[in-house]
């Protein structure tokens, strides 16, 4: 490929609104271009990287028997009403109407669609187990899209769904999927951890996240120095929290408890079972200016919090609507910072107000429990436990926990019968009995992987692609007088030779100064650089430099291929 036919849209300036390295470098290198908040065009160069990720994912999904499908991005509301998520999903779900005034959404995920597909098409239990996957565009109306494609609104996900007659079969596919994920992230050259996770609002009991280790990651992981234990600190905290002695009653506190703690911890400290406390939770969708967001996140997290509390019912409502809700709601969960009306209401009822976070340090919410009233003491900060580096490992009891930050690039779940029960997806078993299908679901943030890889692999000059992700394997740079017949002939020959050896080559034949060419090739992070100039050619040599090398190497022309392969 010649740069004259493959224009490089690189930029010198670091975009002012790009906070993290991957976002800055993806814009500067011309991999993506911003269209609007959380919306990006993949430029030709970026798309080559995205396609390489897709390819690895596709190969590993096929290898474990996944069947590729492609489902519509636009989904009818009826399906989401059947599963109960039309009301539960909140503002992250982009809803729209067609010309007949019928409701639709743009899929943030596809459990409903695939369940509907299989309940119609499955003929016999003998066809099970089945695993379907797709690589497709999702839309989530994130409350705070940021970091470019790391947390965008439209993004590419690989989502897979498996269907089974029994739990052992689900477990077998889940295990195969876990191994496939490990292979995928290893092949992509990423440093990652598989961690136990809270399955939250998506349901199910077993779930694991795949975290690319990076300081800019939004998640926090605790891992043991001695054994394989690794968990999202959210989960680690609830596992570690030990029952505390009852807290002596104290006067009602009008002010929230300082500090950030998980709900599970709060309940432990107070010596209460979350299930006893809260049966109905109204989650407020509050966009009022009084709301303070410590870190961007979404309503799904609030719902997740409600689930932690074992709420039977979760509804989204504006604060005013919540106040007027029919039947007395037992509690509220909302972002910290009460609107005035609600503050008054809470005060007159002497309700308890507790601050917590659904994930260590991620976002603060308040939890207003109306039933506890003045009898309940608020825990003191000292009574609460949070995971800190150095804590003993809850699994082996020998190692100590280390804390890392991570980027969630994949998530696998055992869903059980959550969707099949709600949507009546059943099959007759061997004995002629109707059985709900048992399901698993498995996601990879394909576009996020590209950004995560850059977070782990870059320097002052630009991106350093792990070889399997590079948009081109080799940057061929011709310098000096490009019209020189000798240079142009040698470059053409080498270009063709490398391409036929299976390497992808970007030949920078632009009419530009060598310094400009070198800087661009370093910025876009091509692993190998070969420079052809008149002077070298006279001695039959080329100049080679790996992206991470500190020095150039003169190589005889006919040895280049050997070095590159």
Residue 414's binding partner out of ligand ATP, Mg ion, none, with CB under 5 to 8 Å set by partner kind = none
Question: Is residue 334 part of the contact set for ligand ATP (CB under 6 A)?
Answer: no
Q: Using CB under 6 A, which of 111, 220, 391, 408 touches ligand ATP?
A: 408
Which residue has its beta carbon closest to Mg ion? 411
Residue 451 and residue 463 in contact, taking contact as beta carbons nearer than 8 Å: no
Of 335, 327, 350, 317, the closest CA to residue 280 belongs to 327
Q: Identify the CA nearest to 525 among candidates 457, 443, 431.
A: 457
Does the footprint of ligand ATP cover residue 195 (CB under 6 A)? no
Q: How many residues bind Mg ion (CB under 5 A)?
A: 2
Task: Tell which one of 54, 111, 142, 234 touches ligand ATP (CB under 6 A).
Answer: 142
- Check residue 411 for interaction with ligand ATP (CB under 6 A): yes
String marking each residue 355-394 x if it binds ligand ATP according to CB under 6 A: ----------------------------------------
List the beta strands (DSSP E) in 88-205: 94-97, 103-106, 130-139, 154-164, 192-196
| Euclidean distance between CA atoms 527 and 241, whole angstroms | 47
Minimum distance, C-beta of residue 182 to ligand ATP, in the bound complex (Å): 15
Q: Decide if residue 409 touches ligand ATP (CB under 6 A).
A: yes
Secondary structure of 258-292 in HEC code, one letter for each residue:
CCCCCHHHHHHHHCCCHHHHCCEEEEECCCCCCCC
Residue closer to ligand ATP (CB basis): 146 or 315: 146
What is the helix, strand, coil percentage profile of the chain, to 5?
A: 35, 25, 40
365/261 Cα distance (integer angstroms): 10
CB-nearer residue toward ligand ATP: 151 or 268: 151
Q: What region does 47 belong to: left with phi over 0, alpha with psi -120 to 50, or beta?
A: alpha
Phi-psi region of 415 (alpha: psi -120 to 50; beta: other; left: phi over 0): alpha
SS3 365: strand
142: partner contacted, choices Mg ion, ligand ATP, none (Cβ within 5-8 A by kind): ligand ATP
Residue 157 binds which of ligand ATP, Mg ion, none (CB < 5-8 A, kind-dependent): ligand ATP
What is the smallest separation between the CB atom of 38 and ligand ATP, expressed in angstroms? 7
When asked if residue 410 is in the footprint of ligand ATP (CB under 6 A), the reply is: yes
Q: Which helix or strand (DSSP H or E) is residue 113 part of?
A: helix 111-121
Nearest 10 degrees: CA dihedral of 84, 360, 210, 54?
70
Q: Which is closer to ligand ATP, CB of 374 or CB of 405?
A: 405
CA distance linking residue 307 with residue 202, whole number of Å? 10
How many residues bind ligand ATP (CB under 6 A)? The answer is: 15
Token pair 């825990």: residue? 379
- Residues 52, 85, 140, 261: which binds ligand ATP (CB under 6 A)? 140
Judged by CB under 6 A, the residue of 256, 406, 416, 443 near ligand ATP is 443
Distance, CA of 447 to chain centre: 9
* Identity of the residue, 45 or 213, whose beta carbon is nearer to Mg ion in the bound complex: 213
Return the residue nearest ligand ATP (CB atom): 445
CA atoms of 351 and 254, how far apart (whole Å): 8
Residue 60 beta carbon to Mg ion: minimum distance, rounded to whole angstroms: 19
What six digits make up the tokens of 78?
A: 């009826």
Residue 562 pairs in a beta bridge with none
Q: Which residues are CB-neighbours of 300 under 8 A, at least 6 positions away? A: 89, 90, 92, 200, 201
CB of residue 79 to Mg ion, shortest distance in Å: 20
Q: Name which of residues 46 to 105 contact ligand ATP (CB under 6 A).
A: none
For residue 261, state whether it binds ligand ATP (rule: CB under 6 A). no
Partner from ligand ATP, Mg ion, none binding residue 23, C-beta < 5-8 Å depending on class: none
- Binding range to ligand ATP, per CB under 6 A, among 21-29, 406-414, 480-488, 548-556: 406-414
| Contacting ligand ATP within 149-168 (CB under 6 A) | 151-152, 155, 157
Q: Residue 471 binds which entry of Mg ion, ligand ATP, none, with Cβ cut-offs from 5 to 8 Å by kind? A: none
Residue 446 Cβ vs ligand ATP, minimum distance, rounded to whole Å: 8
Is residue 473 within the footprint of ligand ATP (CB under 6 A)? no
Binding mask 99-138 for ligand ATP (x = CB under 6 A): ----------x-----------------------------
> Which of 268, 315, 418, 448 forms a contact with ligand ATP (CB under 6 A)?
448
Positions 393 through 412 that interact with Mg ion (CB under 5 A): 408, 411
Residue 318 parent element (H or E): none
Q: Which residue, chain included where needed, has tokens 């729209």? A: 96
CB 131 within 8 A of CB 160: yes
CA distance 230 to 65: 28
- Other C-beta atoms closer than 10 Å to the C-beta of 322 total 21
Give min distance, CB of 297 to ligand ATP, in A: 7
Kindly give the residue spans of alpha helices, DSSP state H, lying in 406-484.
418-422, 446-456
To Mg ion, the closest distance from the beta carbon of 198 in angstroms equals 9
**Would you say 298 or 508 has its CB closer to ligand ATP?**
298
- Residue 396: CB atoms within 10 A of its CB come to 13
Shortest Å distance, C-beta 304 to Mg ion: 9
Which DSSP symbol is given to 247? P
Q: Which of Mg ion, ligand ATP, none is residue 416 near (CB under 5 to 8 Å by kind)?
A: none
Using CB under 6 A, list all residues that contact ligand ATP.
109, 140, 142, 151-152, 155, 157, 408-411, 443, 445, 447-448
Using CB under 5 A, list all residues that contact Mg ion.
408, 411
């Amino acid at each position: 490929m010649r740069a004259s036919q493959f224009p490089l849209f690189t930029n010198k300036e670091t975009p002012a609104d790009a906070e993290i390295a991957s976002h800055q470098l993806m814009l500067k290198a011309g991999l993506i271009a911003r269209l609007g908040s959380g919306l990006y065009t993949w430029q030709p160069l970026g798309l080559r990287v995205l396609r390489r990720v897709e390819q690895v994912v596709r190969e590993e999904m096929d290898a474990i028997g996944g069947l590729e499908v492609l489902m519509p991005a636009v989904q009818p509301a009826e399906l989401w009403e059947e599963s109960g998520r039309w009301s539960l999903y909140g503002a992250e779900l982009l809803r729209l109407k067609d010309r007949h005034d019928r409701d639709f959404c743009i899929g943030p995920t596809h459990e409903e669609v695939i369940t509907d597909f299989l309940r119609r098409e499955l003929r016999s239990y003998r066809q099970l187990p089945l695993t379907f996957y797709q690589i497709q565009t999702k839309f989530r109306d994130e409350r705070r899209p940021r970091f470019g494609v790391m947390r965008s609104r439209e993004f590419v996900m690989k989502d897979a769904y498996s269907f089974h007659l029994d739990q052992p079969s689900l477990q077998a596919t889940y295990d195969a999927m876990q191994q496939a994920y490990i292979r995928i992230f290893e092949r992509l050259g990423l440093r990652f951890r598989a961690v136990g996770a809270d399955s939250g609002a998506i349901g199910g009991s077993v779930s694991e996240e795949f975290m690319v280790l990076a300081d800019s990651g939004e998640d926090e992981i605790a891992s043991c120095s001695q054994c394989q234990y690794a968990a999202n600190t959210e989960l680690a905290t609830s596992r570690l929290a030990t029952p505390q002695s009852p807290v002596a009653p104290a006067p009602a506190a009008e002010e929230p408890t300082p500090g950030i703690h998980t709900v599970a911890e709060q309940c432990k400290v107070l010596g209460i079972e979350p299930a006893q406390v809260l049966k109905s939770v109204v989650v407020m969708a509050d966009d009022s200016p009084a709301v303070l967001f410590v870190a961007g996140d979404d309503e799904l997290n609030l719902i997740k919090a409600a689930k932690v509390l074992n709420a039977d019912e979760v509804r989204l409502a504006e604060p005013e609507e919540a106040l007027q809700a029919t039947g007395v709601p037992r509690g509220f969960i909302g972002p910290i910072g009460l609107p005035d009306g609600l503050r008054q209401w809470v005060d007159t009822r002497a309700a308890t107000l507790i601050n917590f976070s659904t994930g260590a340090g991620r976002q603060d919410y308040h939890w207003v429990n109306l039933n506890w009233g003045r009898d309940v003491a608020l825990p003191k900060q000292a009574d609460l436990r949070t995971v800190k580096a150095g804590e003993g490992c809850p699994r082996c009891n020998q190692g100590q926990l280390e804390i890392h930050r991570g980027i969630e690039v994949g998530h696998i779940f055992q869903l059980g019968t959550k969707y099949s029960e709600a949507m009546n997806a059943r099959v007759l078993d061997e004995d002629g009995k109707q059985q709900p299908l048992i399901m698993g679901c498995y996601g990879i943030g394909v576009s996020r992987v590209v950004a995560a890889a850059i977070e782990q692999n870059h320097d002052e000059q630009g991106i350093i692609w792990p070889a399997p992700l590079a948009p081109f394997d080799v940057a061929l740079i011709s310098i000096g007088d490009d019209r020189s017949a000798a240079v142009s002939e040698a470059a053409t020959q080498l270009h063709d030779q490398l391409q036929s050896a299976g390497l992808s080559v970007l030949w920078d034949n632009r009419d530009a100064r060598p310094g400009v060419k070198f800087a661009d090739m370093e910025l876009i992070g091509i692993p190998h650089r070969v420079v052809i100039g008149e002077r070298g050619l006279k001695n039959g040599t080329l100049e080679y430099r790996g992206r991470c090398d500190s020095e150039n190497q003169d190589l005889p022309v006919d040895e280049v291929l050997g070095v590159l392969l």
